[in-house]
Amino acid sequence: MSETSGGVKSVSRRTVLTGAGAVALGAGLPGPWVRRATAQAGQGPLRLGFQVHRTGIGAVYGRWYERTTAAAVKLINEKGGIAGRQVEIVAEDDGTDPKRGGEVVEKLATHHKVDLIFGTLFSHVVIASAPRAGELKIPYLVVSEGYHVASGKLNRYVFQPGITDVRAQVTAVAPWILKNLGKKVTLIFPDYAFGHDHRDFFSKVATAQGGTVRALVPIPPTETSFTKYFPRVPADTEVLYHVMVGPGVLTFVKEMGEHFGAKRPQIFGFVDSLEGVDMASPGLDYLEGTYFWEAFPRYAGPATPAHVRTYRERVGINDNGANVNDPKDVSTASHMFGCWETLFVIKQAVEKSGYKKPSDYKAFIETLEGFQSFAEGLEHPQGPKKFVGRLHQVFGQQLISKVEKRRLAVVHRTAIEDSMYAPEADYTKQPL
């Protein structure tokens, strides 16, 4: 990224060259076990490491995560920063790759000496990076949506305070689907982790509530044509539940239309498939009248509250959820707000805990674990949140939207409680 607006600064050429020079010289440096510079710690800007998917399969999300982060930091800095310190973002591309992800965490922590790290989305990168954050003992706040933080398999340094997890989303929308669309459901999902979360949690919730899962149709990774999978959908299916993250989504929709035509079952999908994709794209007309889960309304309307309007203006999206400067550049509205909210959670936790430098991590973490809820407002434009400290996971409202005139219109907003499941983990028992 070349722009330096809003306090988001890419690593300058000079920093990098200095780094390279350091290894070449290898002399005049402190011993390897001195972790962070202590000279100016606690003063100067608060440096936040941003692990971002600029390249690789997550690049669409990464681009918008970066824009949202820049907008949030600009707002925070305008209002006096965090605890009186200006915020500086140090961004590093992880290529949406687990190996590079671990390296980036190391680089941010030990080379750039940031105060904490945030921003990762794809769950394999999160899972590969989390142990490094734990070993380096640096707070790592992900914006990933995956059910990994709350599952308890990460560590005490990893939090997800800005976005809800897939298990909560499924738990919240499943009853609505069974009640309003039908009880016999067929699931079409990608045959990798994200799809498996849907498969497992939806099946569990739906069966418990009197629904039946008629068939499970996993789609192998990198599939480009879906025609051959539709015959696996049983004829008595009432609801087709689809999660198809990846570039193949338009093909999927088109071929679904070709297969079912007018005699289609009810269709419910997760908007993850269509993040960054224009709803008016050719071929998406078949989605008219179908339903989607959304976390954040992509389309704004007369009912949009003022603080959400401000958020949208700040981030730079128009009423269609696209870039104000390029209407073809559609945002990832249902995910990127997570960066914004995470940054405001960081602000709150830093200010409340009195965090100044890395030796204050204990206070920072315990303060964060002590949070119970976040009120809706400009700092939390998606809606009110409940935070479960032992899970390190936030819970919020989920939206169900209907496609009307090639736009998504919110038809139902679940309660926060609808999404809450019995916690399995307790991070607060782990030593720091």
Partner 1 sequence: MGALVLALTALGLSLVFGVMRIVNVAHGEFFMLGAIVAWYVSTLTGSFLLALLVAPVAVAGVAVLADRFVLRRIGYEPESTIVATIGLLYILQQTVLTTYGPYARPVEAPVYFRVDFPWFGYSGYKLVVAGVAAVLLLVTWMALSRTTLGLQMRATQQDREMAQAFAVPVGRVYTVVFGVGAGLAAAAGALIVPVQQAHYLMGLDALLMSFVVVILGGLGSLRGTLVAAFVVGLSDGAISVLFSPTLAKIVATLLVALVLAVRGRGLFGEELA
Partner 2 sequence: MTDDRRGLALGLHLGVLALLGALQLVLPPFHHGMVARVMVLAAYAVGYNVLLGYTGLMSLGHAMFFAAGMYGTGLTIQHWGFGAGAGFLAGIVAGLAVAAAVGLVTLRTAGPAFLIVTMMLAQAFNLATLYFNDVTGGDQGFILSGLGLDLFGVRLAFADPAVKYNAALVVFAACLLLSFWLTGSPAGRVLLALKENEERTRLLGYNTVRCRLFAVVVSGLLSAVAGSTYTLLFSYVGSTFGGILYSIYPLLWTLLGGAGTTLGPLVGTLVMTYFVDVASAITTGYLIVVGAALIVMVLWAPAGIVGGIRVRWAPWLP
List contacts with partner 1 (CB under 8 A).
55, 57, 59-60, 62-63, 191, 217-225, 227-231, 247-251, 254-255, 257-261, 276-277, 281-283, 328-330
Does position 7 interact with partner 2 (CB under 8 A)? The reply is no
Cβ closest to partner 2, residue 211 vs residue 246: 246
> Of 14-22, 299-307, 371-379, 402-410, which part binds partner 2 (CB under 8 A)?
14-22
261, two tokens: 């035509």
What residues from 221 to 280 belong to the interface with partner 2 (CB under 8 A)? 221
* DSSP-assigned states of every residue in 111-127: IS--SEEE---SHHHHH
Residue found by looking up tokens 């290529």 in the block: 95
Distance CA 157, CA 372 (A): 18
Cβ closest to partner 1, residue 207 vs residue 227: 227
Cβ closest to partner 1, residue 64 vs residue 159: 64
> Residue 7 CB, nearest distance to partner 1 (Å)?
24
Distance CA 238, CA 241 (A): 10
* Strands laid side by side in the 8-10 sheet: 8-10, 87-93, 46-52, 116-118, 140-141, 158-159
* DSSP-assigned states of every residue in 37-104: --SSTTSSPEEEEEEE--SSTTHHHHHHHHHHHHHHHHHHHHTT-BTTBPEEEEEEE-TT-HHHHHHH
Find the binder of partner 2 among 85, 132, 214, 312 (CB under 8 A). Answer: 132
79 interacts with, out of partner 1, partner 2, none, CB within 5 to 8 A per kind? none
> Residue 12 CB, nearest distance to partner 2 (Å)?
9
33 interacts with, out of partner 1, partner 2, none, CB within 5 to 8 A per kind? partner 2
Q: What number of chain residues touch partner 2 (CB under 8 A)?
A: 55
Cβ closest to partner 2, residue 132 vs residue 385: 132
Radius of gyration over alpha carbons of the chain, in Å?
Answer: 22
Distance CA 181, CA 84 (A): 51
Does position 123 interact with partner 2 (CB under 8 A)? The reply is yes
> Residue 29 CB, nearest distance to partner 2 (Å)?
5
Element of type H or E holding 173: helix 166-180
Helix, strand or coil, per DSSP, at residue 421: coil
Does position 148 interact with partner 2 (CB under 8 A)? The reply is yes
> Residue 318 CB, nearest distance to partner 2 (Å)?
25
Cβ closest to partner 2, residue 32 vs residue 84: 32
Contact 149, 393 (CB under 8 A): yes
Task: Please give the single-letter amino acid code of residue 304.
Answer: T
Find the binder of partner 2 among 3, 4, 5, 29 (CB under 8 A). Answer: 29
How far does CA 111 lie from the centroid of its chain?
A: 26
Binding site for partner 2 (CB under 8 A): 1, 10-11, 13, 15-17, 19-20, 22-23, 26-27, 29-35, 54-55, 92-93, 95, 97-99, 102-103, 106-107, 110-111, 123-124, 127-128, 130-132, 134-135, 146, 148, 153-155, 191-194, 196, 220-221
